[in-house]
Structure 1
Amino acid sequence: MDKLFSTIEDQIKKLDSRGLDISDPGVKSVLERENYYNVINGYKELFIDKTHTGDDEKYKEGTNFNELYSLYLFDRELRNICMKYILEIENNIKSIISHDFSKKYGHDNYLKISNFDIKVKHWERKTAAQKIGNIAELTANIQRDISRQLSKNNPAISHYMLTYGYVPLWILVNSLTLGTISMFYSYLIQKDQNDIGKKLKLKPDEMTKILFILTIYRNACAHDERFYNLKAIKNNTKPNMIKTNPLHSKMNITKDKGGNPTYGKNDLFAIVIIFKLILKEDSFDEFIDLVKLHIDNLSNQLSTISTEDVLVEMGFPANWHDIKDI
């Protein structure tokens, strides 16, 4: 059946029938400005009464519209905060990779397949031709990005291409997505991965996972997706997790039956751990203080659910703030 258009008044009546307190006169203006789907469907889950057995869903007794909206606004602030520090890490990683690669292979040799690792690892389950095809796809994506930047008259890209006939990697890297940089690093030969990882005190397998996870969360920030309870899922089924590291033990995070920490693997706390590993101390401390400030502000707006309920959805252990002093 087609989904029929609902007026704001219809939407408010529906919320009222489901037990949501919509007595605040500002509800209508919020729904007009923010969109019913974004606020309600995106953030209602914690407020729904799971014991209700009727045909339609019901909100927990006493749930107020402003609680949902506060969670929505909290999520927006969380995205903005995390995006700032993801971009800081992205800039550092791009600089390190472009410098190391250019020093070894020249500033214009990032399209040569021979400068990447073409050997097939036993766990990759692909042929030699497929492996080279993957690398060729990477270089093709880079070429397409150069073309896009030229079509947009990007000043730096246009200058180097028109003057020298190529774009140095340290210039081009600024326009490449984090996803492309992630793939670029994953296809480097082992020694190059090691050399880059050493600058960040990370092993290649740690670095590869971190880049993939950062890409997922960065994209969510860029597209204004629901963020606070986002899980890094690969191919819509398999979780994409960072490597377990000493921080998980120092935080005394419990483990599941498979031996994996229950927090900080493929959730928002994994991003906190990544920040701890890569950001400078003052940047990390600033990040933690900002998150705590907004969690405290949210706590003052909640009555039907607790801050702990939100923290569990975020993948934050109860002692999450202790990571600042580790």
Structure 2
Amino acid sequence: MDNTNNEILYSSVEEQIEKLKQQNLIIEDEDFAKKYLEIFGYFNLIKGYRSPYIFTDASGLHYRSGITFNQILSLYMFDKNLRNAVIASMLDLEEHIKASAADVVAQSFGTHQDDYLNIRNYRDKRRRNRKFSLRNTLITIQKALNSDKTPVSHYREVHGIIPPWILFKNLYFSTIINFINFFKPHEKEQMVYHLYDVDSTDLSVDNLKLIMMDTLFVCLDYRNLAAHGGRIYNYRSDCNVRLENFSTDVSEDTLPKGFNQLIYILSCLKYRKPLDDLSKALNYEVNRHCSAFPEDATYLGQILNIDIKSENVVWITGTSDKFHYTPYCSGIKHPLQISEQKAIANGYIPCKRCCKETD
């Protein structure tokens, strides 16, 4: 596609390649470039990921010296694989959140839908959008009672009761999060105990309630962005994480931002798998891309808000002979960061859990 006098014109893949070459992009294998432009599309691949590699002057847009098509494709695949990891991790977290909410609701109000969906059990809040009011949220949940999908239909027809752990499986993540936000203090406290290791933190339960809701809304934001094919690696959520509720050594300057904020808030949760899987994917993709294009390490480090070294980085502990691609694998404590080459030279072996090959 091209844009001339505000008119969007069609261009063939061959024309797209010629235009890229005229803009100083190095295309080492035109058949290879043609293949991936046909698969992913010029807009998704080039316009979506050329930003770090271009400049404009009076004569138009140009690629910086030495930039190749393969470099843009690698950044695209970096983001695509990270986006897939976000989806997988958020679906895993969503299942855990739904199960936890169902347990809290059933324990407090019983297993019959007429009891646990009683509006008096929840605290109404003024919402700018009436669509997300308590009453409308409960109406949305009640509509799911009539679903033809199993197991809801089975429980309705056979038992006449649809317990919350059955009903919640059919709800959107956004509906569950809005519902949790209407929980009264006792139920929110029970959710906190499900999600956080309360006894091992110096944070109060009241602070953890706020952190929990911040975390859920940030996770929902990333899940929705990833589900709609949005660019993940340089995204910053509009959902606010209330800094004052974290430990005293976290401030506006020290709280992780961007993608690393997602990693940070997941690291506070008791259930570790969403964090482990996402950290593994991030570490793998950073190592893969920066090994091929080390000049991108500084840029990605700033965007992701992480320290990127030019060598493959792994984590070890003083109590095991294994090295890890993620510092959170299996709940390891106080890991040390070293190069993979040095770890192997010192006799460490790869962890079977987090060092499997990633496609």
1:220 match:
225
Identical aligned residues as a percent: 24
Q: 1:39 aligns with which of 41, 45, 51?
A: 45
Residue 282 of structure 1: how far off its partner (Å): 6.9
Residue 9 of structure 1 pairs with residue 14 of structure 2: yes
Equivalent-residue separation in structure 2 for 1:174 and 1:273 (angstroms): 27
Output the amino acid matched with 2:241.
M
1:113 match:
119
Q: 1:288 aligns with which of 279, 291, 309?
A: 279
Q: Deviations over 1:78-115 (max 9, x none)?
A: 12223322222222221111011111112213432111
Change (3 A) 1:115 1:65: same
1:241 match:
241
1:142 match:
141
Q: 2:301 aligns with which of 279, 302, 311?
A: 311
Change (3 A) 1:204 1:279: closer
Residue 222 of structure 1: how far off its partner (Å): 1.9
Residue 307 of structure 1: how far off its partner (Å): 1.7
Change (3 A) 1:240 1:98: same
Residue 207 of structure 1 pairs with residue 212 of structure 2: yes
TM-score (structure 1 length as normaliser): 0.81
Change (3 A) 1:134 1:282: closer
Partner of 2:169, secondary structure, is coil
Change (3 A) 1:321 1:240: farther
Residue 302 of structure 1: how far off its partner (Å): 1.6
Residue 19 of structure 1: how far off its partner (Å): 1.4
Change (3 A) 1:20 1:74: same
2:350 match:
none
Equivalent-residue separation in structure 1 for 2:116 and 2:184 (angstroms): 13
Residue 272 of structure 1 pairs with residue 263 of structure 2: yes
Equivalent-residue separation in structure 2 for 1:247 and 1:81 (angstroms): 28
Residue 169 of structure 1 pairs with residue 169 of structure 2: no
Contact 1:48 1:59 in 2 (8 A): yes
| Runs of 5+ consecutive residues of structure 2 not aligned to the other structure | 1-5, 197-204, 316-326, 335-359
Partner of 2:92, secondary structure, is helix
1:194 match:
189
Partner of 2:268, secondary structure, is helix
Residue 67 of structure 1: how far off its partner (Å): 0.4
Q: Deviations over 1:242-275 (max 9, x none)?
A: 54666794xxx8xxxxx5136524x211111122
1:101 match:
105
1:79 match:
83
Residue 321 of structure 1: how far off its partner (Å): 8.1
Contact 2:214 2:242 in 1 (8 A): yes
Residue 133 of structure 1: how far off its partner (Å): 7.8
Equivalent-residue separation in structure 2 for 1:16 and 1:299 (angstroms): 24
Change (3 A) 1:105 1:243: farther
| Runs of 5+ consecutive residues of structure 1 not aligned to the other structure | 234-238, 254-258
Output the amino acid matched with 2:302.
V
Q: Which has the higher contact order (CA 8 A, sep 6+)?
A: 1
Residue 186 of structure 1: how far off its partner (Å): 0.6
Q: Deviations over 1:217-248 (max 9, x none)?
A: 11122222211111112xxxxx5335466679
Change (3 A) 1:68 1:176: same
TM-score (structure 2 length as normaliser): 0.74
Equivalent-residue separation in structure 1 for 2:158 and 2:218 (angstroms): 38
Partner of 2:137, secondary structure, is helix
1:48 match:
54
Q: Deviations over 1:161-217 (max 9, x none)?
A: 223444221101112121111101111111211121122236211111111000011
Equivalent-residue separation in structure 1 for 2:72 and 2:101 (angstroms): 42
Equivalent-residue separation in structure 2 for 1:191 and 1:5 (angstroms): 59
Change (3 A) 1:71 1:181: same
Equivalent-residue separation in structure 2 for 1:182 and 1:142 (angstroms): 12
Equivalent-residue separation in structure 2 for 1:132 and 1:307 (angstroms): 44
Change (3 A) 1:196 1:220: same
Structure 1, 63-72 or 167-176: larger mean CA deviation: 167-176
Change (3 A) 1:282 1:248: farther
Change (3 A) 1:53 1:173: same
Residue 300 of structure 1: how far off its partner (Å): 2.2
Partner of 1:3, secondary structure, is strand
Change (3 A) 1:125 1:32: closer
1:160 match:
155
Residue 287 of structure 1: how far off its partner (Å): 4.3
Partner of 1:78, secondary structure, is helix
